[in-house]
Chain A
């Protein structure tokens, strides 16, 4: 396999995506890069270039002398205050300028995490930093680079949302790109291979959901969708197919899904409460008819097997 080059830049974010990919399995990130033939030109928490080398590297990329296959951006593009970009600077200049220059040179551009993808933390109307994603602002196409932007390989920005990114999302994407295999994207330009199913798929609490055994407070063992704010059924990601740290997921453990791969994350509504209308969640799983769903739920509740109903009832009574 031909060696591919990767340059990783951090902007308005928490570095959590870098920390998350360090948990990549199996065997580990460094070995995977080696196996994939990826040469990391620069990563801010891993690389040790001398100052001169780092300067030369950026100059060479910008002049076209150094080929850049994958440009990864972690963090949103800060436009504030007042569109100056001065809330996030690189050597005294707005970092957005460097982002635009590097983006113009890359074969593929990967937006790493929800901030880089959709704006994420600091991207809502009253947020001072005026963060935007590389090619989206929430679910609206455009973002920092504009809806018509294509990288050198004639690709839109590949969006890998998640707060943080799941290591598997990056691993799958790089593997497909490197092997020249087709990378199909969804309507938000995210690889379907990871974002094609909902967080609900594979949750171990599905059996409770199936029979409408809904938790009414934290710390129970049923489904968190109706009352506890879980957005698993309305959020696309493979958290319950490829487990976190190869162990578990928030919803399996009992923490509601906060919808962190969604374009509107972080939502302004309270996180641990389900917003409801007439006793049912306002947001139902994508493409569902409300009336049919309610009818199904009532029938399912009536059909709940005794052992499950009993276990859930005991649990909720005891605590």
Chain B
């Protein structure tokens, strides 16, 4: 038996990451997901004006900057009992959805499909097409997606001034005043991207796809009919490379919901919910969210903390610690989050049929992301029409001064469930805890010896070439850690010792 230990650094876009695995006869028998960067945002916020969370927290992540802004403004509004006006909620929805469409497009095309253009796949039928369309920096499809993804974020620049890192959402609404011309331009940019998505990705209108392509069989039929679309390419590449067979994790899903109802912004049009051990959805109960610190580099008094009253005290010598990520759990259970969770909670018929047939394979997980713009572009169009129809309605009502209270702001980031837990006293932040989607997916072991979702997804995985563990990269990337895998591997255990770090 050959036993090999590898440390595989994953280049990050959101959070530095290493995956440490133990292989026996080329099969992964242990896995540790290691967040390698600590920035200390929670502690930067303590003592500041609550409004400053609107400027500081977007800078946690350059891809879902608007999502952090959304969570922050909702946390403040929840702490101070503020309800924003309907027109402001629509403008916020437009900003958040546009950012998520940008992220989904860039992740699928620039970060996921680009792997199929690697020489690793040179003997596969799809290889020439993958190189032509998806090769990094040169693929025709990659360039096309780059252009469309910067087109959709113009929506945010028009409403909020710039993408990324703007702070136009404020307690009581938005502080910007887009004109009616601006809002027609917003509609135009949405239509441009929508039209491209329909003709080049799906091959049909989003309505047709939503209504007709509702089962795995119908999807097979659809891609035969529209065989030159990106969707057809994606399916072919995933199937031929075996992604339908690998990458299953816990069938537990959590989604915080998206597209806030303008008339009742505490509820979302795409609903929040959880599904445990399958597709049966139950209501989300935020008091069941806890963070387990048993295997993270933090000090703790109680091993499982509620985010309210929770602490973030780094301690690189913490016993059993191996990552800067905490381990969020829902009623003690590890949960997957992201587009697949959103689709299952929203009872999407196609994704549920696929899930019932092959579970949450890497293919199904990534497909959910490729298809998510269907819903999001539809809501973008609808919200922008409603904005125009209600143009002139107030977008800001000045609230009374922020003082004392606790609030939770939740929203659905591109990568899944994002929550900000705010405690403020006399107009000052006294505690701020952030539970990111990547923390759910990339979480380490907990005190019940349960692995985090993507650790679980690679356990048992067989690696063909340990010098290039491509399969593992696909599985991890199907969670959209927003990073491109780089992999360092060696067949000689002595050589990899130098990469080892911490307790293993």
Indicate if the CB atoms of A271 and B12 lie closer than 8 Å.
no
Restricting to A5-34, which residues have a CB under 8 Å from any CB of B? 10, 12-20, 22-25, 27-31, 33-34
**Chain B residues near A24 (CB-CB < 8 A):** 150
Indicate if the CB atoms of A44 and B160 lie closer than 8 Å.
no
Indicate if the CB atoms of A127 and B40 lie closer than 8 Å.
yes
B165 to chain A, nearest CB (A): 6
Indicate if the CB atoms of A92 and B499 lie closer than 8 Å.
yes
Indicate if the CB atoms of A86 and B147 lie closer than 8 Å.
no
Indicate if the CB atoms of B37 and A270 lie closer than 8 Å.
no
Selected interface stretch from B106-114, B325-333, B368-376, B452-460: B106-114
Indicate if the CB atoms of B398 and A87 lie closer than 8 Å.
no
Q: Tell me, yes or no, whether B170 is within 8 Å of chain A by CB.
A: yes
Q: Tell me, yes or no, whether A149 is within 8 Å of chain B by CB.
A: no
Q: Tell me, yes or no, whether B316 is within 8 Å of chain A by CB.
A: yes
Indicate if the CB atoms of B62 and A164 lie closer than 8 Å.
yes
**Chain B residues near A293 (CB-CB < 8 A):** none
Indicate if the CB atoms of B137 and A218 lie closer than 8 Å.
no
Indicate if the CB atoms of A28 and B143 lie closer than 8 Å.
yes
A90 to chain B, nearest CB (A): 7
Q: Mark B334-356, 1 if CB is under 8 A from A, else 0.
A: 00000000000000000000000
Q: Tell me, yes or no, whether B38 is within 8 Å of chain A by CB.
A: yes
Indicate if the CB atoms of B48 and A128 lie closer than 8 Å.
no
Indicate if the CB atoms of A55 and B488 lie closer than 8 Å.
yes
Q: Tell me, yes or no, whether B200 is within 8 Å of chain A by CB.
A: no
Indicate if the CB atoms of B483 and A30 lie closer than 8 Å.
no
Q: Tell me, yes or no, whether B289 is within 8 Å of chain A by CB.
A: no
Restricting to B142-170, which residues have a CB under 8 Å from any CB of A? 142-143, 146-147, 149-150, 153-154, 156-168, 170
With CB as the reference atom, state the residue of chain A lying closest to B88. A219
Indicate if the CB atoms of B11 and A92 lie closer than 8 Å.
no
**Chain B residues near A255 (CB-CB < 8 A):** 160-161, 166-168, 175-176
Indicate if the CB atoms of A270 and B164 lie closer than 8 Å.
no
Expressed in whole angstroms, the Cα–Cα distance for A49 and B153 within the complex equals 29
Restricting to A103-143, which residues have a CB under 8 Å from any CB of B? 121-122, 124, 126-129
Indicate if the CB atoms of A92 and B7 lie closer than 8 Å.
yes
Indicate if the CB atoms of A218 and B43 lie closer than 8 Å.
no
Indicate if the CB atoms of B12 and A19 lie closer than 8 Å.
no
Expressed in whole angstroms, the Cα–Cα distance for A13 and B149 within the complex equals 22
Q: Tell me, yes or no, whether B44 is within 8 Å of chain A by CB.
A: yes
Q: Tell me, yes or no, whether B409 is within 8 Å of chain A by CB.
A: no
A30-B143, A50-B468, A270-B52 are contacts. A319–B398 as well, Cβ < 8 Å?
Answer: yes
A127-B40, A244-B157, A244-B163 are contacts. A46–B136 as well, Cβ < 8 Å?
Answer: yes
Indicate if the CB atoms of A247 and B158 lie closer than 8 Å.
yes
Name the contact of B138 in the complex, choosing from A22, A30, A45, A87 (C-beta under 8 A): A30
With CB as the reference atom, state the residue of chain A lying closest to B143. A30
**Chain A residues near B314 (CB-CB < 8 A):** 81, 87, 128
B185 to chain A, nearest CB (A): 8
Name the contact of B38 in the complex, choosing from A20, A128, A221, A260 (C-beta under 8 A): A128
B296 to chain A, nearest CB (A): 14
A246-B154, A253-B168, A253-B178 are contacts. A44–B11 as well, Cβ < 8 Å?
Answer: yes
Name the contact of A266 in the complex, choosing from B56, B65, B120 (C-beta under 8 A): B56
**Chain A residues near B25 (CB-CB < 8 A):** none
Indicate if the CB atoms of B150 and A271 lie closer than 8 Å.
no
A38 to chain B, nearest CB (A): 10
Expressed in whole angstroms, the Cα–Cα distance for A78 and B314 within the complex equals 14
Name the contact of B176 in the complex, choosing from A90, A253, A258 (C-beta under 8 A): A253
Indicate if the CB atoms of B40 and A91 lie closer than 8 Å.
no
Indicate if the CB atoms of A88 and B16 lie closer than 8 Å.
yes
A255-B176, A270-B52 are contacts. A20–B164 as well, Cβ < 8 Å?
Answer: yes
Q: Tell me, yes or no, whether A54 is within 8 Å of chain B by CB.
A: yes
State the A residues within 8 Å of B (CB): 10, 12-20, 22-25, 27-31, 33-34, 40, 44-52, 54-55, 78, 81, 84, 86-92, 121-122, 124, 126-129, 163-164, 217-221, 239, 243-255, 258, 260, 266, 268, 270-273, 319
**What are 13 A-B pairs at a CB distance below 8 A?**
A14-B61, A16-B59, A19-B62, A30-B146, A45-B110, A45-B482, A46-B114, A54-B486, A54-B488, A163-B165, A245-B162, A248-B158, A254-B175
User: 5 closest A-B pairs (Cβ-Cβ)?
Assistant: A16-B62, A92-B501, A244-B162, A219-B396, A253-B161
Given A14-B14, A30-B137, A51-B467, 6 further pairs, Cβ under 8 A: A15-B14, A20-B62, A49-B486, A50-B487, A253-B161, A319-B396
